[in-house]
Amino acid sequence: MIKQGARDDTAFLKAMQDVTPLTQKAAKVDTQTGSKDTPGLQHRREMLSSAEDALGRDDEYVELLEPLDELSFKRPGIQSGVFRNLRLGKYPYEARLEIFGMRVADARKEVSRFIRECLKLEIRTVAISFGRAKERGSHAAWLKSYVAKWLKENESVQGYHSALKHHGGLGAVYVILQKSERKRMETLERHQRRMSQ
């Protein structure tokens, strides 16, 4: 007695006897370095690159600051009164980021993400805390040095200054970010109304 499975195999082999197998070509791997990117992929790479450039890279050279160095930077165009108020802590910060103890690469990502989020939420005054350095080569001194460099390189940062003692002193920095277009227009309208009265 022939089993059902054997009958099926015989029928299959009889049906396939005139079929010739396809010749298989070896798989090819494209080793060209300049492969074509889609416009979307190219745009995402450019955006990532510009975001990284905006805050520097952790393997770049940074001038190591002294533990008692005060951080202070004002971009041309920011009003002296605005910067003075920032320096004196007269603008309450609306958001704070603490990065002390983080690896430099992780801190850079966090600072970048924090600034992007604040800009999206139209937050203008923030504080970043990196910890107070006790000696020149300490981890906090490295973070302080990198934060000063990254903030200066970011066009969205209008200025920064070491915080007052009760906000972290030399282990933290107040940062003022550029106004959103909407906030800029509101200020302009307010100014024009005042001038017309």
Q: Is residue 29 part of a domain?
A: no
Does residue 183 have a pLDDT over 80? no
Amino acid identity of 53? D
Residue 177 lies in a domain: yes
**CATH number of the CATH domain containing 88:** 3.30.1370.110
140 in any annotated domain = yes
pLDDT of residue 139: 86
Question: pLDDT exceeding 70 applies to what percent of the chain?
Answer: 75
Q: What is the pLDDT of residues 118-153, one digit of tens each?
A: 999 999 999 999 999 888 888 889 999 999 999 999
Residue-by-residue DSSP string for 84-153: HHHHTT-S--SEEEE-TT--HHHHHHHHHHHHHHHHHTT--EEEEE----SSTTSHHHHHHHHHHHHHHH
> What average pLDDT does the segment 42-48 reach?
51
Residue 147 lies in a domain: yes
Cα separation, 100 vs 128, in Å, equals 10
Residue 143 structural domain: 45-54+63-186
Q: How many domains is the chain partitioned into structurally?
A: 1
Confidence band of 1 (pLDDT split at 50, 70, 90): very low
How confident is the prediction for the chain on average, in pLDDT?
81
pLDDT of 77-111, one tens digit each?
899 999 999 999 999 999 999 999 999 999 999 99
**Within a domain: residue 93?**
yes
Work out the pLDDT band at 27, boundaries 50, 70, 90. Answer: very low
